[in-house]
Amino acid sequence: MEKNLKILLMVFVMALPLFANAQKVEFENLQVNVVMPENESISETLLSSLQDRLYEAVSLNALGSMDASSRFVLLPIVNIVSKNATSSIPPQFVAEIEVALYFADNQEKTILSQTMITKKGMADTESKAVAKALKSVQARDKKIKRLFDEGKANLAKYFATHTDEAVFDTVKENDVKWILEK
């Protein structure tokens, strides 16, 4: 009897990963569009470069889309916190930026996860210092990875309770003003 119980327990333990995988929501086809809001204090070239790195981050996290009608968006909001001159000769400039990232469901108007990345850059002009700071935001940043992991977990929880809805629906337009208003 004890031997049968051990065998039954062993079979259950071996089958446990199969049950766990059956409960997971698969996100291979989840499309996320990177939406860049206008920003007068940062050049279009720098914003385009940031957008490219964020699309790389989306791709690295098993997501992806270039489709403007995708339901899910990644919205970066860039703020220049400070620009200061050093007392060295020749003077250098130090710029500090904050990039707030919002991973959101644009159909449900829900922020799935958000994070803040702070970077500094130093150069011989203010604009170059800002550019260096912005270019130091990398696709493999641990905060970005956590952003997507938390967002996917929140999405899995949501769709576990709303099984009648399709995860991969598209939206008519990617208007993200609602995020900016929060």
| Greatest extent of the chain over all pairs of C-alpha atoms, in Å | 85
pLDDT in tens, 137-170: 999 999 999 999 999 888 888 777 765 555 555 5
Q: Which CATH superfamily is domain 29-160 in?
A: Lipoprotein like domain (3.30.160.150)
Tokens of 18: 């199969």
Q: Which of 82, 80, 64, 54 is nearest to 141 (CA)?
A: 54
Tokens of 166: 């399709």
Give pTM, 2 decimals.
0.76
Burial class (CB in 10 A: 0-12, 13-18, 19+), 6: exposed
pLDDT in tens, 63-102: 776 667 788 899 999 999 999 988 888 899 999 999 999 9
Tokens of 179: 């995020």
